[in-house]
Structures are given as structure tokens and as C-alpha cells.
Amino acid sequence: MKFNPKTEKQLVEENLLPDGVYDFRVMEAKDTQSRGGNDMIALKLEIYTDAGSRTVFDYLLEKMAFKLRHFCAAVGQMEAYESGTMRAENLVDLCGQCRLMQQPAKDSYPAKNAVRDYIVPKAKGGEHASEPATESAPASPDGGKDDIPF
């Protein structure tokens, strides 16, 4: 048998999902604290691919405000977000979409997939569901009256 030998690093990197948008489901969520003592929610996500599913871990904390808000919008938890209080137990089995990236090996940790951000669903009319609609153009100074006959 002939084959191309590979390093552990090559094997790990070949098994990573390419950067892109993926559907996910929250498998587990746990209220905990970061190394710095800040409140956070540790997530275990099931990422769906054409070839099955993979597990990716992510962490929600106030320090990454954009990611926290986008996660809540992605899974329909904007009411909890707006209240300023979320409980991990309420997040289990919620689904949405996220943007994954490949994170290179660092220190003693191998390369891995990580969540870059969560995808905010678009509401009708193309606006993001969690963003206010843009205001319409101001009325013309003549109140909309002009010389055009139609």
C-alpha cells in the first residue's frame, strides 16, 4: 500500500470545515464565568453540514456585545436580550445560522473551527429583524405637489 504520510497538524486542519455560513442547534448551554470573572454562557453547538454534523464550542459574554446580540437575534431571543438577562437553560435546542471560521493553532491548542458571528435573520422588506427600519425620505418642500400631470 502506498500513501502520503501526514503530520498530526495536517490531519487536524484537513478535518476543519471551510469558512462559511452553517445551520446550528444549541446542544448544551451553561451559565458560567470567564477566566476574568465575567458572567458568560458556554455553548456547545451542533453544526450541520452536507456530510453530517460537527460540534463547535462558543462563549457568549458582554465583552463581545455584537456577537451576543446577533446570537439572540439568530435564535429568536431578542426579548431576553432587551431585558438584559438570559438564562442558559432557555437556549438549549434553539436553532439558527452562524458564520464559522478556521482558527489557526495557538500555543498548545490545535487549529479549530470557531464562530465568527451569528446571522441575523432578515425580516420582510429586507431589513434585519433586530434592526429598526430606516426612515422614509423626507417630504418634498412643496408637500409632494409638482407640475407632473400623473
Residue-wise pLDDT tens digits, 64-100: 999 999 999 999 999 999 999 999 999 999 999 999 9
Q: Parse the chain into domains and list their residue ranges.
A: 15-122
Q: Are 26 and 45 in contact (CB under 8 A)?
A: yes
Match 446580540 to its residue by C-alpha cell.
69
- The phi and psi torsions of 25 (rounded to 5 degrees) equal -135, 140
Helices of type H across the chain: 8-14, 65-74, 78-83
pTM score, whole prediction: 0.76
Task: Report how far apart, in Å, the C-alpha atoms of 143 and of each of 8, 138, 140, 149 are.
Answer: 71, 10, 5, 15
Instruction: Tell me the CATH number of domain 15-122, given options 3.20.20, 2.40.50, 3.30.70, 2.60.120.
Output: 2.40.50
